[in-house]
Amino acid sequence: MSEEATIDTQELGEKIVKILKTIYDPEIPVDIYELGLIYDVLVNEDNEVKILMTLTSPNCPVAETLPVEVEEKVKSLNTIKDAEVEITFDPPWTQDLMSEEAKLELGLL
């Protein structure tokens, strides 16, 4: 991969993170990125994105809609060719995955 492509995918990754920080879990007033629901963001040279994420629980009321919202918002970046969200519960989400910022926001610190 050329150095230029590396910079592009890194920049794109940062833009994707900014978008992810605008999406909130409806039950918790913290964005899904700070909550630790995003396990991985992969961007290939064709600007196709794969996001590996989890939900706070398998019975999460937004299990159907949240992944679709993530996909649509990421696809709204005009440099993104395609986006796919994969949900996993391995490892299961715990409060330990939350950022310090999220823990502070929820009074857990």
Domain membership flag for residue 44: yes
Domain total of the chain: 1
Q: What is the pLDDT of residues 71-97, one digit of tens each?
A: 999 999 988 999 999 999 999 999 999
| Range name among 3-7, 24-28, 34-38, 87-91 with the lowest pLDDT average | 3-7
Is 0.75 surpassed by the pTM of this model? yes
Q: Can you give the length of the chain in residues?
A: 109
Domain membership flag for residue 102: no
Cα 61 from Cα 63, distance rounded (Å): 6
Which of 87, 50, 60, 85 lies closest to 70 in space, CA to CA?
A: 85
Percent above pLDDT 90 for the chain: 68
Cα 35 from Cα 103, distance rounded (Å): 8
CATH number at residue 51: 3.30.300.130
Q: What's the angle, vertex CA 105, arms to CA 77 and CA 11, rounded to 5?
A: 25
Range of the domain at 68: 3-93
One-letter amino acid at 40 equals: D
